Amino acid sequence: MKKHLLFLGPPGAGKGTQAALISEVNSYLHLSTGELLRQEIDSNTNLGKQVKDIINKGELVSDQLVLEIVKKNLNKDNNGWILDGYPRNLSQVNSLNDVLMNISQPLEIVFYLDIPDEVLIQRLLMRGRKDDNEETIKTRLKIYKANTEPLIEYYKNLSLLEYINADGDVKTISTEIKQKMA
């Protein structure tokens, strides 16, 4: 059973939804940089104040800030982990490689959750989080395609990539992920 997982895909593909399900069943650490950043905003910390406008505009928070969050939350002491929403560009990939080398826990599998733009736009508009309005979604998608999409090829070349059709119901998708983890 694979213990060190990464979920990759556009905003609204269901990375957070699937990572929560799989991590709960296996008692893995679920490391969502988006969720951790939102907690900082809700608690009105200095970090939260710095990132609030950036997130609400749909832009990426600085690599340095996100790396600090990852380092604080990811250590050797775990039963397995799922990275959700990190890394989001090639510089974050390089930092992640260093972090994982330090804890001697290499990435074992990358799930690429693929979904058509029209479906994800509808999902996000229905959810209606602060950064789920039409203008912000457009920015998030543009940034995803420019910065994050190249990671698909990167992990494919390392033979770590598993393709998941994320345009289906939650249970069917999680069953497919579980089968591929086994």
- Cis omega (within 30 of 0) for bond into 87: yes
Stretch that binds ligand B4P, among 21-29, 40-48, 157-165, 168-176 (CB under 6 A): 168-176
Selected from 8, 13, 164, 177, the binder of ligand B4P by CB under 6 A is 13
Least CB distance from residue 95 to ligand B4P, whole Å?
A: 10
* Nearer CB in complex with ligand B4P: 30/159: 30
- Rounded Cα gap, residues 44 and 25, in angstroms: 32
Instruction: Tell me the two tokens of residue 163.
Output: 């393709």
- CB count in 10 Å sphere of residue 141: 18
Instruction: Tell me the two tokens of residue 134.
Output: 């039409």
* Nearer CB in complex with ligand B4P: 159/171: 171
- Binding status of residue 127 toward ligand B4P by CB under 6 A: yes
DSSP string, 80-134: -EEEES---SHHHHHHHHHHHHHTT----EEEEEE--HHHHHHHHHHH--TT-SH
CB 9 within 8 A of CB 113: yes
- Binding status of residue 17 toward ligand B4P by CB under 6 A: yes
Site map 103..122 versus ligand B4P, x via CB under 6 A: --------------------
Site map 36..55 versus ligand B4P, x via CB under 6 A: -x----------------xx
Selected from 79, 94, 170, 175, the binder of ligand B4P by CB under 6 A is 170
CB 94 within 8 A of CB 42: no
Interacting residue ranges for ligand B4P, rule: CB under 6 A: 11-17, 32-35, 37, 54-55, 58-61, 66, 85-86, 88, 92, 123, 127, 131, 140, 168-170, 173
